[in-house]
Amino acid sequence: MSTSLSRLAVLSGFILLLHSAYSAAEHVAFLKAVDMAESRFPIEITSECLVGALLAILGIVGTSGTLKPVLLEHEMDKKPYDSIDNNVSFRPMVHRRRARA
């Protein structure tokens, strides 16, 4: 998906989400005005919200650029094995507590 098309999808998705939120608020206000208790929103509001969220998600993924692999092998190829255990969070600090006590 091209960048301009992705940005258009994000914009239209957010507009649809805002419109569905406004429609839901108006629907709740209408139900309170006529003293009706309905637990579900109409299918139009629900479908508009789902389509808007889907458009926004697809547009954000399209504008993010190339995705990087999330496999551990790619990161492990870059670092030697000794640098994995050589981290500050893995060092024991018991000897410092004994020296201060």
CA atoms within 13 A on the CB side of 93: 6
CB atoms within 10 A of CB 49: 18
How sure is the predictor about 82, in pLDDT bands with cuts at 50, 70 and 90?
low
What pLDDT, in 10s, does the model give residues 34-59?
A: 888 877 899 999 999 999 999 999 99
For the entire predicted model, the pTM comes to 0.64
